[in-house]
Amino acid sequence: MASTSSRHALVTVHAKEYAFVAPSSIAAGTTTFRLVNDGKEPHQISIVQLEKGKTLADFVAAAKAAKPTPWAIGVGGPNTAGPGQTIDATVTLDAGNYLILCWVPTPGTPVPHLAKGMIQPLTVTASSGAAHPSGATPTITEAAPDVHLELSEYGFKLSKPLTAGKHVIHVMNYGAQEHEAVMMKLAPGKTMKDADAWFEGGMKGPAPIMPAPGMAALGKGRTGTFTATLTPGTYGLICYVPDAKDGKPHAMHGMVQEITVAAK
């Protein structure tokens, strides 16, 4: 990643139960996706690139039949915004056909939001390189990353300990499989074991965690950045992407890590 700040396109997406308000087409290039959660449940934007010839209907049919979709590659996105939160993630998209979707389930049910209609196509067109008229395309200046986060089978590696305050975190997937970085702040006295038990119990009762910004699933070799403003406390990093061999979430293969965010 560049060692200085950079300016690129800004795409704002509003989310609620259970739909996105998002553009149907954007230009190729490095883009910050800003997720504004207007709903009462947590939501994410997971961006998936489709191989040529594949469509939204193909993806939905495969999901309903629980069939693998090797032709749909995760390219990141903001992951996950709690009710009323706004979070940013920056990824680079080539021209092609994509989907934006939400894998987050509703509390009390294992059904992901995409099954309730929270999925839609996104066309990325080749960039002409020509300057846009002033005000036609919103842009944002992003600071250089100050922390690097490596994903692999099956773990996380931070370049340095996180401290309270704002960070731009560069995420790199060095694994052969897709991986994501779900970040959550644990309630005082709670651990990731408490969070796991809550998730496995259908997310019933008071939540032992609060959503924090992260990065949606990235395919092999993919990178992106996300911005997070952290407060002191204990956080969890976790990957729920299903394993290519046994279908179990990577968390069940040990891709779970507790980290302490210290005050500066």
The encoded tokens of residue 253 equal 């293969």
Q: Which DSSP symbol is given to 60? A: H
pTM over 0.85: yes
Report helix, strand or coil for 184: strand
Torsion 121-122-126-130 (CA) sign: positive
Confidence of residue 51 (pLDDT cuts 50, 70, 90): very high
Question: Could you report the per-residue pLDDT of 123-149, keeping only the tens digit for each?
Answer: 999 976 544 444 467 999 999 999 999
The encoded tokens of residue 114 equal 């995409």
- Average pLDDT of the chain? 92
Per-residue confidence (pLDDT) for residue 133, from 0 to 100: 40
Per-residue confidence (pLDDT) for residue 129, from 0 to 100: 53
Determine the distance from the C-alpha atom of residue 255 to the mean position of all C-alpha atoms in its chain, rounded to a whole number: 16
| Residue predicted with more confidence, 3 or 205 | 205
Question: Could you report the per-residue pLDDT of 52-109, keeping only the tens digit for each?
Answer: 999 999 999 999 898 989 999 999 999 999 999 999 999 999 999 999 999 999 887 8
**Are the beta carbons of 26 and 9 closer than 8 angstroms?**
yes
Question: Which residues lie below 8 Å from residue 161, measured CB to CB, with a gap of 6+?
Answer: 259, 260, 262
Per-residue confidence (pLDDT) for residue 243, from 0 to 100: 94
- Exposure of 3 by Cβ count < 10 A (0-12 exposed, 13-18 middle, 19+ buried)? exposed
- Residue 166 pLDDT greater than 60, yes or no: yes
Strand order across the beta sheet in which 96-101 lies: 25-27, 119-125, 96-101, 46-50, 72-74
- Structural element, H or E, at residue 194: helix 192-200
Confidence of residue 246 (pLDDT cuts 50, 70, 90): very high
Ordered by where they begin, the domains of the chain are 6-261 (2.60.40.420)
- Residue 118 pLDDT greater than 80, yes or no: yes
d(CA 38, CA 126): 31
Question: Which residues lie below 8 Å from residue 118, measured CB to CB, with a gap of 6+?
Answer: 15, 18, 19, 20, 43, 101, 102, 112
Give CA separation, 111 vs 49, 56, 86, 141, in Å: 22, 18, 24, 37
